[in-house]
Amino acid sequence: MTGLLLLAVLADRLTRLASVSLSASPPAAAADTAHPGAARSAPARVSSVPPPPTADTRGTPTLDRLARLAVRQQLAQWGTQTYLDSLISTTDSVVRRWPDRNGQPLRVVLLEGGAAGYAPRMAGLVRQALDRWAGAGVGVTFAEIPDSVEADIVIRWIDRFDIDRAGQTDLTWDQFGRVRRATISLALHSTAGAALSDPALLSVAVHETGHAIGLPHSADSNDAMFPSTRTSALSQRDVRTAQLLYQLPPGSVRDVPSH
């Protein structure tokens, strides 16, 4: 089984998007597979090279001074029990997550089929992945709906990626760090063409769902958010990181020099 799981080595890219700029232009999703004409980021593992600051995130209004201070204090207080600092460094100091929904679930569409080799049981694997995060005490829950127009999260299957990855999540968020939409693409086969096992598909689904709720990568291979994930179980750090993310206000925590 280890060999099969290794096939699922995940070199996904959490697409940096393109928060809504102050000019009210629509978010420019930069998915390299879905939007070939859009700006491409390096098809390397996202953990290897944090993306440089972008003009988009620089335009993100910062939280007020006390809120920024509170966020920094909480990050320091939790220390290495979370990997949320990875989010702060990859988003140019933006706490980015779904806005509070007062108990309302995120609406999810599971698109069936889409690639040869798809079997209905695979939707069950995705539901397991959603259940794991919903059960983590983060306050984020999911409800399946049939219409992707109304969906917050769209999950689709593809045959394989051209580059070495098994899943990809494209997030769109606004200038206040509030996630507006997520699209998860899951591959049925490795880049070399081997069918991924159910445990591998589940691991990737758990990992990508973590991205869909806003989580960054972890540098620890015991965490589901490790880039080359081999586990479908959430670690304590996965759970704590998600909990902390949803305790913090979304927005820029960039340190702004006072004048």
Of 56 and 208, the one with the shorter C-beta distance to Zn ion is: 208
Q: Which three-class secondary structure state does DSSP give residue 225? A: coil
> Among 6-14, 105-113, 120-128, 150-158, which window interacts with Zn ion (CB under 5 A)?
6-14
- Give the footprint of Zn ion on residues 85-124 (CB under 5 A): none
Q: How far is the CB of 7 from Zn ion (least distance, A)?
A: 16
| Residue showing tokens 């206000």 | 249
Residue 3 has, within 13 A of its CA and on its CB side, a CA count of 2
Amino acid at 113: G
Task: Give me the residues paired with residue 187 across strands.
Answer: 158
- 12 lies in the site for Zn ion, by CB under 5 A: yes
User: Quick check: 253 and 88 in contact, CB under 8 A?
Assistant: yes
Q: In Å, what is the CA distance from 216 to each residue of 5, 53, 144, 186, 192? A: 21, 16, 24, 18, 27
Q: How far is the CB of 225 from Zn ion (least distance, A)?
A: 7
Structure-token match 């159910």, residue found: 198
Residue among 92 and 170 whose Cβ is closer to Zn ion: 170
Q: How far apart are CA 20 and CA 189, in angstroms?
A: 34
Whole-number minimum distance, CB 164 to Zn ion, in Å?
12
Residue nearest to Zn ion (CB): 12
Q: How far is the CB of 245 from Zn ion (least distance, A)?
A: 15
From residue 169 to residue 198, the character string flagging contacts with Zn ion as x (rule: CB under 5 A) and all else as - is ------------------------------
Structure tokens at 16: 């940096």
Size of the site for Zn ion (CB under 5 A): 1
CA separation for the pair 235, 247 (Å, rounded): 19
Cβ nearer to Zn ion, comparing 12 with 170: 12
Stretch that binds Zn ion, among 7-15, 59-67, 146-154, 196-204 (CB under 5 A): 7-15
CB 46 → Zn ion: shortest distance, Å? 6
The site for Zn ion (CB under 5 A) is made up of 12
